[in-house]
Amino acid sequence: MILVTRPFLPPVEEYKKYIDSIWDRQWLTNMGPLANELEDQLKIYLNVQNLHFVTNGTIALQMAIRALDLKGEIITTPFSFVATTSSIVWEGCTPVFVDIDPESLNIDASKIEEAITDMTSAILATHVYGNPCDVRAIEVIAKKHNLKVIYDGAHAFGVEVDGKSIFEYGDIATCSLHATKLYHSIEGGLVICKDDVINKKLAFIRNFGFNGPVNFAELGLNGKNSEFHAAMGLANLKYIDMIHEHRKVLTHSYDERLKDVGARRPIWHSAAKNNFAYYPLIFKSERDMMSTMEYLTAHNVHTRRYFYPSLAMSLPYVEHKNLEITDDISKKVLCLPLYYDLTLQQLDNICELIVNRNIYGV
């Protein structure tokens, strides 16, 4: 059976070495030495000034909304994982959905201004599949209307725009280090903020708002991550270039093998490279997509409708809203298996199934 994704696991001895060091120190969590080391290494790897290692990518979003003190309406994308919208609602704000661009599948920057009201405080956009949003256009709009910008970079680990980390765009960027993501620490997340004042606030928020043992600076939560998770992050970081390289080979092989099956790929930001986090295909119709998915499932190849359904049409806690492009694309998109342990032989078999289904119209 082939699943849509499989977490990368480092050689167990390498993980154990870190675990032994935890036993020696008996320091299990609360900004321990491994968590600090991971933050230092990630700052270098990602080339960012500030970064907080937190419990997960959802808490990272909630911390970002809190740190910027957002109120009222937040303009966001309906084509994302549920956490992008649920964090907005969880923090007492109202999501206002703006349709996506049919090529990049990111929020359509040209439609943001018409959604701005007196209540709008921010834009929260996702770099879908690691493909950067139109960060320049969004920055211009945000400046003009005095709005904050948060980027959900859960998929965007290691992506650069014009040679600068994607996480340096916006007031705050977040990332998820969940086991299903490109790079992971089992559970984990990152909050990245260039502004030193907000960055300090994020540090307080992560640790219950404590400012010293008997003082409080902020309303906080528990966003700290453990030494065990940091250990996995450290062990995996040594393999990130290798993981990236293999995913690149697989992606190019999919591109080559599937170029004639009548499905298209998202168009990438012109100043950024793919990080090969996912392999989405947009079919001509929902029927086409469904028959491909069912045919693959019948042959034990598991794919995922990522993202379906539209967040603007499916959440019981937000008013439903039709959005032409999102409604259309979310019905036709399918992510194919892509992970480090996937072999070229397995990929060949998957492609053969898709191509055959296409030829014979199974």
Ligand X SMILES: *Cc1c(COP(=O)(O)O)cnc(C)c1O
Query: Is 106 among the residues that bind ligand X (CB under 6 A)?
Result: no
Least Cα distance to 39 among 175, 145, 135 occurs for: 175
Query: Is 86 among the residues that bind ligand X (CB under 6 A)?
Result: no
The amino acid occupying position 110 is: S
Query: Is 126 among the residues that bind ligand X (CB under 6 A)?
Result: yes
Query: Is 178 among the residues that bind ligand X (CB under 6 A)?
Result: yes
Question: Can you read off the two tokens belonging to residue 335?
Answer: 């992510």
User: CB of 331 within 8 A of CB of 286?
Assistant: yes
Give 208: exposed, middle or buried? Use CB within 10 Å, 0-12, 13-18, 19+. middle
Q: How far is the CB of 155 from ligand X (least distance, A)?
A: 6
Q: Residue from 5, 80, 85, 358 that binds ligand X (CB under 6 A)?
A: 80
Residue 301 forms beta bridges with which residues?
A: 2
Q: Residue from 39, 108, 152, 218 that binds ligand X (CB under 6 A)?
A: 152
Task: Please report the beta strands in the chain, taking only residues with DSSP state E, as ranges in sequence order.
Answer: 52-54, 73-76, 94-97, 120-126, 148-152, 160-161, 164-165, 172-176, 189-192, 279-282, 333-336
Query: Is 57 among the residues that bind ligand X (CB under 6 A)?
Result: yes
Q: Applying CB under 6 A, what is the total number of residues that bind ligand X?
A: 14
Q: How far is the CB of 184 from ligand X (least distance, A)?
A: 9
* Nearer to ligand X among residue 155 and residue 332 (C-beta): 155
* Nearer to ligand X among residue 56 and residue 207 (C-beta): 56
Question: Which residue's structure tokens are 């032409």?
Answer: 324
Query: Is 326 among the residues that bind ligand X (CB under 6 A)?
Result: no
Q: How many CA atoms lie within 13 A of 345 on its CB side?
A: 1
Q: Residue from 8, 32, 46, 56 that binds ligand X (CB under 6 A)?
A: 56
Residues forming contacts to ligand X in the complex (CB under 6 A) are 56-58, 80-81, 83-84, 126, 152, 154-155, 176, 178, 189
